[in-house]
Every structure is written in C-alpha cells, then in structure tokens.
Amino acid sequence: MTINLKEKFNEAISSAHALNDDGTTTLLHKTPWVRILLEQHHDDGDTNRIEVEVSLPEDCSCDKTDSSLMFDEFADHINYLKKLREHGFDLCIIQDGCILSASKSIHKTPEDNLFRALSPP
C-alpha cells in the first residue's frame, strides 16, 4: 500500500492557512492499527505537531489460532514506533495503556525520509 503522506500534509497545511484557523486537527492516514494526525496551532508561531496513535484494532475478535498473528502484528507496530523515536518523536502511553503514541513538533515541511518513516507497517 502506497500512501502519499507528504502530499496530504501539504494539503492540510494549505487548507488551514486558507481558512485562517487558529488550530486544526487533520487525519492524514488511518489503518486498523494506526492513526496519523496533524495538529496545527497558528497562534503559537505556526507550530505543527504530527501525532501517531497505535492501538489494537477495534474488531480484535480473534481466536487462539489468530492470537499468534496479532502478537506478530503488535510487535511490528511497536518497532514502527521505535523507528519514529529515531526520527525525533516522543513516545508515550495514553488512556491506561490502550493507546501508544508518538509525537513530534515541527516548524516546516519535514524531509522525505520522515514521511517514509511515518508509513505504517
């Protein structure tokens, strides 16, 4: 699956500037495991924040044979978050451990390598 996060990022930035919003949150991408959000705060010196949330899929009704696959997928997503940490993201656990999060404040359009790192497994 190929997604163009840089294009979606630039569209969200342009739309918010055109609307002159003080703050906007835009969903850039969503999978059953991952949500990638762009939070824009124009009153704070045009600070933008990329937020990546990882959680078990809502339709996580697997039997014992599927459980092993779920653990493998969960491990892939933990490694995804660790890779984001290498790109300067801060990691945290929110909502009593139900959601794992990586976030990073940015002041300009990130380099392409960051958008490649943001592509979920």
Which pLDDT tens digit goes with each residue over 47-103? Answer: 899 999 999 887 766 665 678 888 899 999 999 999 999 999 999 999 776 899 999
Query: pLDDT tier at 1 (50, 70, 90 boundaries)?
Result: very low
99-106 and 90-94 beta bridge pairing:
antiparallel
DSSP designation for 43: G
- Domain span holding position 85: 5-118
Q: Encoding tokens for residue 5?
A: 């996060």
Q: Residue 63: give its domain's CATH number.
A: 3.30.1460
Indicate whether 22 pLDDT > 50.
yes
When divided into structural domains, the chain yields a total of 1
Task: Look up residue 58 and give its amino acid.
Answer: E
Task: Look up residue 56 and give its amino acid.
Answer: L
Residues in a beta bridge with 96 = none
